[in-house]
Each structure stands twice: as structure tokens, then as C-alpha cells.
Amino acid sequence: MSPELFAALPFLALSVTAVAVMLLIAVRRDHRLIAAITLAGLLLALIATGATAPPAPVTLTPMFQVDGFTSFFLALIIAVCIAVVLLSYTYLNQMDDGGPVEEYYLLLLLATLGAAALLASMHFASFFLGLETLSIALIGLIAYPVKRARAIEAGLKYLVLAGVSSAFLLFGIALIYLDFGTMSFTALGRIWDTNPPHGDIYALAGFAMLLTGIGFKLSLVPFHMWAPDIYEGAPAPVTGYVAVVSKVAVFALLLRYFALIGGYRFPSLLWAISLLAILSMLAGNLLALLQDNIKRIFAYSSIAHFGYVLVALLAGTPIALQAASYYLTAYAVTTIGAFGVITLLSRPGIGHDADRLESYRGLMWSHPWLAGALTVLLLSLAGLPPTMGFVAEIYVIASGVGMQLLLPLAALIAGSVIGLYYYLRILAVLLSPAPSLASPPATPKTSPTGGAMLGVLVILLFALGIYPAPLISAIQHATAGLARSRAIYLAEDNTAVTQSPGMPRSPGYDQ
């Protein structure tokens, strides 16, 4: 088997499973069978990712490259997708609104394939291809419970906003292509190494457009308006998927793009990102204070969390790349856990999820295990020990302190103290005495697979919060590839510098 084919195995496994599921639905509608095949395909892809993690980057056409960074995040999103499948199975069974449920898995697989493509992209074309595959599948997933008005509304909103952001992205890509004649990240980086585009209006406009598009996808303030509505309207497992997979994949792409084009040489770009980060951290946390719906609170908290990760992106040192990767991992584990709890508490049959904060009152005494898990997840979101969130927050702050990003750090501290307030508010609701209603709310019996999965997530949160060294060394290995692919440039860059003295050097990348 050629190394290229070998490296492509996880992608092939995902594609084959998607096709198999599609064909099988045409032959025989069987929820259990389809879910089992999806799960098997995802497990296969996960194993393939682990087995094929290449020691050196493998290039698959000029568009894709599989390296340690790709493999790490691919494993993460496939694992998250497995968790979503486990949660969705019971949820869909209980939803029982007469509609077909099997296509859900097809959409999930397609979305994951799109995210996987994003993780390996080296080119604007593959970036756009992956993003659209992901977004279009997500529209279907968000609006999947067709009898719920909220879900349809959320799906439509996502459709419109995904369209708008794609338009921005395309226009930005077109402007950059117009200017430099290439869409490959590496080629762009090389061009700018020798010929930095200072004051180039096309490049500047292109960057602004790209940043807007990515800002929509990551729901950064001021492009965040869609997030709360879609988080609220989508069924809980899908919300978890949107919150984790689409955002993590886009952010991983952003990290790679920034590293390859050497984004740190553009002060205006850094300023724009700083502004987005500060606004997201402050506005995200402040707006979360006003919510009474737990899904909306998580939407705003996710806005703020991506503001925190942007601080690591801004720092751009090797330690910052690790920090961002660790943070995204912690975010993924925590967020999928939080939406897992919401899913397990929901009765999908009644048309909405257990999302009002009031319905969590006294949960600690009625459902001690679920409430205990949610408590740990909240502590992790708030960045308290001994959880992964604590290490992640320190990692990000460390990368910011290393580059003396004072303003973003101040916003980070202020934001996380505000954030603490609403996390504690949820906690206070959980702990308050249970309402003595005449009719105690009939909660569904918790699915054992969902409960087991939640248990695994909580144990992970603790284990990697107390002893994060193994994960950190895996991340160091993964991001070293990214730094190395950049280092190759720096070597060429240095020769370029000797050829053309006086060229400004990128400040962030010398360490």
C-alpha cells in the first residue's frame, strides 16, 4: 500500500461508511442496524487514524496533507462523533415523531467527513469544500426534528448564515487569488516571505473577508448572533456536535493556515484578531449572565471560550500552539459532556429539550449522578482544578503572558471571573432544594450507554486535569509537525533574508 493511500485510510473509512449507510437505507430501514454500522465505521476510522498517524507529513494531492496535527484532531472529532451517535440513538428512539431517523446518521457521517477534510486542507479549495460539506450536513441535522418549529427556525437561520459566511469566504479567497495567483497556503506563505504585501488593498480586503467568514463559523463577537438561537433550537446531541466538531475543525484549520502563511507578520490582522478575542471574551460572558436557558448559556460560554483560544493563536509561540490544542481538547470533552447531560435529561417526545434553567432546580437530589457529572463539567468550563479546564486555562494564560499580550489577558481574567458567576449560578440552582411539586417531573430513564459515556468523559476530565503529562506530550508531538512545516519555511525564509537584506522579520516565530 502506498504511503498516500495508507494515510488516507481514515478518510476512506468515513466515506465508505457514509456510502454504505446511504445504500442500506434504500434497502432496509432499521434504526438499530444503521446506528451500529455508523458506530462501526467511526470506530474503524478512529483506529485507522491511530494506526496511520504519520511520522512525517504525507501530501495527498496539493490540496491535502496528513500530518501529526491532522491525526490528533481527526481522532478528537471522530471520538466526539462517536459520543454524539451514542447520545443520539436513545434520543431519536424517544423522539418518535413518525419521521424517518436513519438519515440522521448519514448526515452525521457527511458532516464528520467535511470536518476531516478541513483538518487536512492546505489549500483554499479544499478548505471551502470541507466547510461546505460540513455546513450543509449540519443544516439537515439542526432541522432534523421536522415537527419542531424551533428546530426548523434554527435550521433556516443556519442556512442563511452559513450562506452569508460562505459568500464572505469566497469573496476573500477570490481577492487573494486575484492578487497572488494561488490558493495554496504554502505557496502564499512563500510569496509573502519574499514579498510582504504591506499596504496591499486586495490582500487586506481579502483577509478581512476571510476573517469575517471564519468569525461566523466560530461565532466570535460581533458575528455571534446566530449561535444562541441555533443552540437552543437544535436537538441537544446536534447542538453538542455543532458546538464541538464544527468549531474545533475550523479553529484547527485556522491554526494551520496562520502557521503556514506566517500570519504573524501582518500587524493589522493581529489587531483585528485581538479585537475579536477581547469582544468575544467580554460580550460572550456578559450576555450569558442574562440567560435563563441553559443551552443559550452554553452558547454564550462557547463564544467566550473561543475568545480565550484566540489568545493562544495571537501568541503564536510553540507553547501557544500546544495551549490551543490542549484547550480545544478540554473544550471538546467538556462541551460534549454538558450537552450529553442535557440530552439525557430531555424527553424528546415533548418537543423541546430540558433547557430551562428552572428545570434543573434540585437536580443534585433527584439525579445525583447526572448532577454530579454536570458539576464537574461546570467546574471544568470555569477553569477550576482538578479538571482539564484548569490546565487548559493556565496553558492559554501562560502563552499570553509569554508574549505579553496584556490587553487580551486582562479581558481573559475579567471574562473568566464574570463566567464564574454564571457557572456558579447554575451550580446554585442544581444544589438548591428540590421543588416540592404536586407532580414530580417524570424524567426518562437514563440510557445506560449515555451514562457510561458521561462517566468516561468525567474520568477523562479528572485524569487529564490531575496528570496532563501524557496528553501534553501527544500534543507536543502533533503540533511539532505544524511548527516543523513552518520551520522548513523559516529555513528558506532565512536564505531569502540573506538575499534581500532589510526585509522585516516576523516577530512571533523566532522562538
Q: Would you tell me which residues interact with other proteins (CB under 8 A)?
A: 379, 384-386, 390, 394-395, 397-398, 401-402, 409, 413, 416-417, 420-421, 424-425, 427-428, 431-432, 467-469, 472-473, 476
How far apart (Å, rounded) are the C-alpha atoms in residues 36 and 85? 9
Which of residues 331 and 395 has its CB atom nearest to other proteins in the complex? 395
Q: Which of 3-6's residues contact partners 24+ apart within 8 Å by CB, and which partners?
A: 3/54, 3/58, 4/58, 4/59, 4/60, 6/52, 6/58
CB nearer to other proteins: give 54 or 386: 386
CA-to-CA separations, 500 to 81, 200, 450, 508, in angstroms, rounded: 49, 20, 60, 20
Backbone φ/ψ region at 44: left (φ over 0), alpha (ψ -120 to 50), beta: alpha
Report how many helices (DSSP H) and strands (DSSP E) the chain contains, helices first: 21, 2
Nearer to other proteins, 268 or 473 (CB): 473
> Minimum distance between the CB of residue 382 and other proteins, rounded to whole angstroms?
8
Minimum CB–partner distance for residue 360 and other proteins (Å): 15
How far is 263 from 258, CA to CA, in rounded Å? 5
Q: Shortest distance, CB of residue 407 to other proteins, whole angstroms?
A: 13
Our CB check for other proteins shows the closer of 185 and 395 to be 395
CB 317 within 8 A of CB 218: no
Quick count: other Cβ atoms within 10 Å of Cβ 463?
15
Least CB distance to other proteins at residue 438 (A): 23
- What distance in Å separates the CA atoms of residue 307 and residue 329, rounded to the nearest whole number? 15
Least CB distance to other proteins at residue 104 (A): 38
Any residues with CB less than 8 A from the CB of 260 and at least 6 apart, and which? 122, 185, 186, 188, 189, 485, 486, 489
Residue closer to other proteins, measured from CB, 69 or 423: 423
Q: What is the DSSP letter of 8?
A: T
Enclosing H/E stretch for 309: helix 294-315
Nearer to other proteins, 138 or 374 (CB): 374
What's the closest the beta carbon of residue 40 comes to other proteins, in angstroms?
36
Q: Is 181 left (phi over 0), alpha (psi -120 to 50) or beta?
A: left
Specify the DSSP class assigned to residue 130: H
- What separation in angstroms does the CA of 423 have from each of 167, 319, 381? 36, 28, 8
Q: What are phi and psi of 293, to 5 degrees?
A: -115, 125
In the complex, the smallest distance separating the C-beta of residue 472 from other proteins, rounded to whole angstroms, is 5
Name which of 40 and 406 has its Cβ closer to other proteins. Answer: 406
The backbone torsions φ and ψ at residue 184, rounded to the nearest 5 degrees and listed phi first, read -85, 135
C-alpha cell belonging to residue 189: 506563505
- Residues constituting the chain: 511
Residue 52 CB, nearest approach to other proteins (Å): 25
Give least dist CB 254 to other proteins, A.
24
Q: What is the pairing mode between strands 64-66 and 58-60?
A: antiparallel
Which CB, 8 or 396, lies closer to other proteins? 396
Q: What is the 3-state secondary structure (H, E, C) of 323-367?
A: HHHHHHHHHHHHHHHHHHHHHHHCCHHHCCCCCEHHHHCCHHHHC
For other proteins, the closer of residues 177 and 462 by Cβ is 462
Of 135 and 399, the one with the shorter C-beta distance to other proteins is 399
Q: How far is the CB of 247 from other proteins (least distance, A)?
A: 24
